[in-house]
Chains A and B, each alone.
Chain A
Amino acid sequence: DTEVTQTPKHLVMGMTNKKSLKCEQHMGHRAMYWYKQKAKKPPELMFVYSYEKLSINESVPSRFSPECPNSSLLNLHLHALQPEDSALYLCASSLRSSGNTIYFGEGSWLTVV
């Protein structure tokens, strides 16, 4: 089973709202990722967690705040977003962070109004 589960599938939020995206995997993977994908573009890496520690932050604005409560869960907390942040947010995981196969979830479609 190579399943990464993301909730919610769709989210509409105002620029003053606080919301969270959630991601879960039960494959025993120790690396988890957040990617952002705009329409007709490839995914762009935002954050990497390795063994529950933040390993990479690709200069993402602080209005995006990741959290890894345990090895199976990954959250992305959203606050004071801008309309240009509307995109598909993809969670992914891999066994480790050293070049292992990366599996993506179905994504959360975020619209900021």
Chain B
Amino acid sequence: GENVEQHPSTLSVQEGDSAVIKCTYSDSASNYFPWYKQELGKGPQLIIDIRSNVGEKKDQRIAVTLNKTAKHFSLHITETQPEDSAVYFCAASHSNAGGTSYGKLTFGQGTILTVHP
């Protein structure tokens, strides 16, 4: 089955700096890669996602890049703010030929991001 490795496990930055979290996956059939932010006591919130036909996607301060050849994808947060502090999870899934992947996300182990004012 799919295996997703996520690094680093913790990341501490100063406000205004950039943060980068990296994930690698094992199943070359994976074609959908979402990123979730989870604040303490809350459910995971989708912040950005990318599909395998796209190499990069941006949404304001957040960007995700995908390298299908190397089987890795990364989350980039620029101009970090204290409210960006949370646990971030990458995930991967794939659709089979019939388009019925049944939404089986495989998550990375998570990165605790702390942004210091």
Chain A positions near chain B (C-beta within 8 angstroms): 2, 4, 6, 31, 33, 40-43, 45, 48, 50, 55-56, 88, 90, 92, 94, 97-107
Neighbouring A residues of B103 by C-beta, 8 Å = 31, 33, 48, 92, 94, 97-100, 102
Chain B positions near chain A (C-beta within 8 angstroms): 31-32, 34, 36, 42-46, 49, 51, 89, 91, 93-95, 98-105, 107-110
A to B CB contacts below 8 Å, 14 in the list: A31-B103, A43-B89, A45-B105, A88-B43, A90-B43, A97-B103, A99-B99, A101-B49, A102-B103, A103-B46, A104-B36, A104-B45, A105-B43, A106-B42
Neighbouring B residues of A103 by C-beta, 8 Å = 46
Given contacts A42-B110, A99-B103, contact A90 B95 (CB under 8 A): no
In-complex Cβ contact of A98 among B51, B100, B108 (8 A): B100
Max chain B C-beta neighbours (<10 A), residue from A4, A42, A45, A56: A42
State the CA gap A112–B94 with chains docked (Å): 35
State the CA gap A48–B103 with chains docked (Å): 8
Neighbouring A residues of B107 by C-beta, 8 Å = 42-43
Given contacts A99-B93, A105-B43, contact A56 B34 (CB under 8 A): no
Asked if residues B43 and A99 are in contact (CB atoms below 8 Å), the reply is: no
Given contacts A42-B109, A107-B43, contact A98 B89 (CB under 8 A): no
Asked if residues B43 and A98 are in contact (CB atoms below 8 Å), the reply is: no
9 A-B pairs besides A31-B102, A102-B105 with CB distance below 8 A are: A2-B46, A42-B91, A42-B107, A50-B102, A90-B43, A99-B32, A99-B51, A106-B43, A107-B43
Given contacts A106-B43, A107-B42, contact A97 B109 (CB under 8 A): no
Q: Which residue of A lies closest to B99 (CB)?
A: A98
Neighbouring B residues of A55 by C-beta, 8 Å = 102
State the CA gap A92–B93 with chains docked (Å): 15
Asked if residues B42 and A48 are in contact (CB atoms below 8 Å), the reply is: no
In-complex Cβ contact of A42 among B31, B46, B89 (8 A): B89
